[in-house]
Chain A
């Protein structure tokens, strides 16, 4: 037996985790359900926001806070969903040969990095918008509009911080995967 055969025998002889195929299939189905649940949650949140803004005027006037949120949601929701829908095309390319896969995945990662920049800029834009609104309402005096703007500033600040942390983590992952796959393209 030569060295290659010995290495192959050693590799193929390793003991593997004992998981019945049925158990693995069940786990995989649970994983698939988790992904579906996440999609359903995203859809539910969007629909709740749309229904809220569409139905509120039927029985009462918008509050100052709702008025201030409207322009933001008008831009935010279409952008988020355009990103979300484009992401769904990630799966089928895994069955291509590795060179083709690497090329397609690199393009996807470049898109993801652009989207992350967009998410970061979006959060920053919301913060700037909130601060601008608060400055304008402060000029009018401390009324309900000023209180609403203050709430918006606090929410925008938290959103910007959370976005920055998320973007930082995902961007690092994207860069790492990008470097890995670029090696495969050489």
Chain B
């Protein structure tokens, strides 16, 4: 096992949340998660000492998330209530707000979704720019558009 693997395990919550931003079906989330972990496993040798692990693994998760299209082919487009309940186990199945956020995030176009997901994980514009290969101004514009679209979806819901 690679020396950095225990550190990767500490990033699992962030990885799960990222995967959930790309895939609604719980079974396919697990499959995508495995692909992400395998890609991380294979790429760990390329991790530079100076580089922090969280941005490194999240970059891989976002890249594979953007490439992940099987859900659209094999799973239904809309998220029905049973599926949503399975995705949010226990008492959180009733958590309307969280369910709405997950659905809204997945409805965003990819370039906006990536920026928003990283922002939700606590990264600032400069870090997001480095992760996605964008300028800080561009990140700002995308973040603003993402929030605006979320607001529009929220207004449409009310």
Q: Which residues of A are at the interface with B, using a C-beta cutoff of 8 A?
A: 4, 7-8, 10-17, 21, 24-25, 27-28, 31-32, 35, 91-102, 105, 169, 172-173, 176-177, 180-181, 183-184, 186
Does the CB pair A12–B17 fall under 8 Å? yes
- How many Cβ-Cβ contacts under 8 Å join chain A to chain B? 130
Residues of A within 8 A of B131 (CB): 97-98
How extensive is the interface on chain B, given as a class?
Answer: 35 or more
Interface residue SS majority, chain B: helix
Query: From residue A153, how far is it (CB to closest CB) to chain B in Å?
Result: 33
Residues of B within 8 A of A169 (CB): 73
Residues of B within 8 A of A25 (CB): 1, 5, 9, 37
Contact partner of A173 among B17, B37, B69, CB < 8 A? B69
Does the CB pair B9–A21 fall under 8 Å? yes
Contact partner of A97 among B29, B42, B92, B133, CB < 8 A? B133
Q: Which residues of B are at the interface with A, using a C-beta cutoff of 8 A?
A: 1, 5, 9, 12-13, 16-17, 20, 26, 29-30, 33-35, 37-39, 41-43, 46-47, 56, 59-60, 62-64, 66-67, 69-70, 72-73, 88-90, 92, 97-98, 101-102, 109-111, 114, 119-122, 130-134, 147, 150
Does the CB pair B101–A11 fall under 8 Å? yes
